[in-house]
Structure 1
Amino acid sequence: MTENKNYQNPEVQEPENDEITIDWMDILRRIYTIRKTLYKAAGIGVVLGIIIALSIPKQYTVTVTLSPEMGGDKASGGLASLASSFLGGGATSNNNDALNVTLAPDIVASTPFVLELFNTRVQTLDEELDTTLVTYLDEQRTPWWGYIKAAPGLAIGAIKSLFTEEADTTVTLNPFQLTEKEAAKVKGLRQSILAEVDKKTAMTTITVTLQDPKVTAIVADSVVAKLQQYIIDYRIKKAKEDCAYLEELYKERQQEYYEAQSKYAHYFDTNRNIAFQSVRAEQERLQNDMNLAYQVYSQVAQQLQVARAKIQEEKPVFAVVEPATIPLEPSGSSRKVIVVGIMFLTVCCTGAWKLLGQDCWKKLKSKI
């Protein structure tokens, strides 16, 4: 007896069309039945959104755009090259150790750079506060949940202050060893100041975000000025060291030439009418010493003029495309958007719980 291999038990046969259908009318009907709950959730969301929106302080952003000089070959057209050519020397070589403009974000985020900003004088828009930046940072508002988060640390600090003497507030900042409070300020200011560089165009964008519009503009302008000075000092550091060395060498060679010249003149005047060969030989030797000292003195003087010109040549040029201005409107999300967003989130979470969460929770409880 042969069995039919194509026979399938209808009880285990899989359906051919297993499609999931969504009954939209049932979903709308269920939403309609919980409409009062959704109204309450919307009201709670509005209240919660207002509380959160009012707790978040306003932030103002100032953006400054710089176009730094691109590093190119200055050997053929720089001031040092022109000075060298006029004085009879060769062309100077290009300085390859110049600071790359792409390092601006790292410079702005470095601890020494941030610490230099602490003593910047700032003034609020209402002119009620005129102080340093490090003092202004203590005046900035924080949301109420920030105080809750910092409450344990504040309590521990208050207890420690009862058993320790008050520290001297005039101590200068030490980048090598910062206190916990100073490190927190450095971290907060580092997050408020950002620098970005477009690698294609070398355009540098400095963005500063703080709570007062005038303070933000002042800090942004100070960041740009300090960044420019930092790069300039780095670029001309080697040239200034070379120039200082040549200054000392120039004075030494000048003194040697004057001494050789004085010896020759004194010997020539003393032995002018003497016709001995030994006198002439000594006179010729002193004259050669004087000429040699003059040649060395002249070469050092030429190199000094080239070094002085190179200091000006090495200074980079910054074109401020977009200067710092006091912003008129706060940045970030407006309070209306925050209220609407929290209300929408509250309604969605409540609806999801009522439509899906409760049934799943009941099933899970029944199984447990």
Structure 2
Amino acid sequence: MSNENDALVRTDHDEEEIDLLEIAAKLWKSRRTIFTYAGIAAIVGLVVAFSIPKEYTTTIKLAPELSGNNTGGAGKLGSLAAMAGINLNSASAGADAVMPPLYPDVLSSGPFLVGLFDVPVTESKTDSTYTVYSYIEDHTSGTWWGYLFGLPLKAVGGIVSFFRDEDEEEGGDGTTNPFRLTKDQQEVKEALAERIVCSYDEETGVNTISVTMQNPLVSALLADTVAAHLQAFITDYRTSKARQDLAYANQLNEEARKDYYDAQQRLADYLDRNQGLSLHSAQVTRERLTNEANLAFSLFNQTSQQLQMAKAKVQETTPVYATVEPATVPIKPSKPSKPMILIGFVFLGAVMACAKILFSDTINSVKKIITQ
């Protein structure tokens, strides 16, 4: 029984080898067809590769200071701040709402992207300066097939816009309103969202900002601007409470200064008018004015300390960013990868040729059955 099973296994194996040899022989016999398909695919691949505009990517790596680093500095001033009635630790704890893992969400948010519309950038080829909005909308080219397939949509959009209210389409006075963007502004915002990418490395805590544009200088300038805007946004957010406290402390200090100067002036005027008087009423009034001046000075001194602590708190809560990799103008384009496109098309052409050769008989049989 075992001998019969071994014989069946060998027979199946021989049949598989024979089938593979037949397939290989069939393909080799039609190698001209395969080479022809591969050659045509290579030509198509070259056309596609050279039709795609070059893109240049600039990468910036930022290592932001973690909020935990701020608590050490706040602890050194903790006792002095407590005397002035200010809790630096609570301020630092409240500044943790926007952490480095959330920076990618900040960069992809609508207000942040809309805030980049008016940023000026300079193109290296023509040495012309445009806004980011103008460069994306008017000076960024696409593929010819993109324009070809987009013509019907543009025609329909033109017909629809013709019957639409002009003020509704243009957004009123033509200004950018992040709450209500026009169709063109929404498209530019989506294009920026695709070209500006931020990622966070949990192991190193480094944020990587990548900006891809069709001009290397524009890519580098916009990447540097994006990093600066991100740092300004995070700094403004984390120091907003401290700056509000500083403004309030400054207001209290100015009011205490005015009250102290007024009390001093009232005491001086009284002493000038009542020199040499030994009446008890005059002594009581002098003591009262003196106490008022001393109390005003005490309040002024206390608010001055609070003002200094508020200034220190703003400094303590201001984050520090270490630029691990600054923006540089890229030399080589990041895409398209012409060799990979060419290899992919050649492989696809060869596969299509092999499929046609191997399944030609089956396809002909199906056609005969259908036509009968």
The question of a shared fold, defined as TM-score above 0.5 by the shorter chain, is answered with: yes
TM (norm. structure 2) is 0.85
Question: Secondary structure at 1:194's aligned position in 2?
Answer: strand
- TM-superposed CA distance for 1:206, in Å, is 0.5
Name the amino acid aligned to 1:153. Answer: L
In structure 2, the residue matched to 1:3 is none
How far does the alpha carbon of each residue in 1:181-201 deviate from its partner, in whole angstroms, 9 at most, with x for none?
A: 111111011110101111222
Change (3 A) 1:39 1:117: same
Give every structure 1 segment of 4 or more consecutive aligned residues whose post-TM-superposition deviation is greater than 6 Å. Answer: 87-91
Q: Cα RMSD (Å) of the superposition?
A: 3.0
Change (3 A) 1:307 1:132: same
Question: Secondary structure at 1:320's aligned position in 2?
Answer: strand
Unaligned runs of 5+ in 2: 1-6
2:204 is the alignment partner of 1:205: no
- TM-superposed CA distance for 1:335, in Å, is 1.6
2:99 is the alignment partner of 1:96: no
In structure 2, the residue matched to 1:130 is 129
Is the CA contact 2:59–2:209 (under 8 Å) kept in the aligned structure 1?
Answer: yes
Question: Secondary structure at 2:93's aligned position in 1?
Answer: coil
In structure 2, the residue matched to 1:139 is 139
Is the CA contact 1:108–1:227 (under 8 Å) kept in the aligned structure 2?
Answer: yes
Q: 1:50 aligns with which of 33, 40, 46?
A: 46
Pick which of 92-101 and 208-217 moved more.
92-101
Is the CA contact 1:119–1:132 (under 8 Å) kept in the aligned structure 2?
Answer: yes
Name the amino acid aligned to 1:43. Answer: G
Change (3 A) 1:90 1:235: closer
Q: 2:291 aligns with which of 288, 312, 324?
A: 288
Counterparts of 1:264-279 in structure 2, within 5 Å, are 264-279=267-282
How far does the alpha carbon of each residue in 1:300-356 deviate from its partner, in whole angstroms, 9 at most, with x for none?
A: 111001112222222211111111111111113422321222021111122123213
Name the amino acid aligned to 2:225. Answer: S
Change (3 A) 1:322 1:360: same
2:67 is the alignment partner of 1:71: yes
Alignment length (residue pairs): 355
Is the CA contact 1:105–1:195 (under 8 Å) kept in the aligned structure 2?
Answer: yes
Question: Secondary structure at 1:207's aligned position in 2?
Answer: strand
How far does the alpha carbon of each residue in 1:74-115 deviate from its partner, in whole angstroms, 9 at most, with x for none?
A: 455359829947x98887325112231222101111111111
Is the CA contact 1:65–1:321 (under 8 Å) kept in the aligned structure 2?
Answer: yes
In structure 2, the residue matched to 1:320 is 323
Question: Secondary structure at 2:130's aligned position in 1?
Answer: strand
TM (norm. structure 1) is 0.86
Is the CA contact 2:62–2:322 (under 8 Å) kept in the aligned structure 1?
Answer: yes
In 2, distance between residues paired with 1:165 and 1:88? 59
Is the CA contact 2:84–2:309 (under 8 Å) kept in the aligned structure 1?
Answer: no
Name the amino acid aligned to 1:100. Answer: M
User: Where is the helix percentage greater, Structure 1 or Structure 2?
Assistant: 2
Unaligned runs of 5+ in 1: 1-14
Is the CA contact 2:171–2:181 (under 8 Å) kept in the aligned structure 1?
Answer: no
In structure 1, the residue matched to 2:21 is 25
2:62 is the alignment partner of 1:62: no
How far does the alpha carbon of each residue in 1:188-241 deviate from its partner, in whole angstroms, 9 at most, with x for none?
A: 111101011112221111011111111111111111111111111112211111
In 1, distance between residues paired with 2:17 and 2:181? 62
Counterparts of 1:169-248 in structure 2, within 5 Å, are 171-248=174-251
How far does the alpha carbon of each residue in 1:134-156 deviate from its partner, in whole angstroms, 9 at most, with x for none?
A: 11112111112211332222112
In 1, distance between residues paired with 2:362 and 2:276? 129
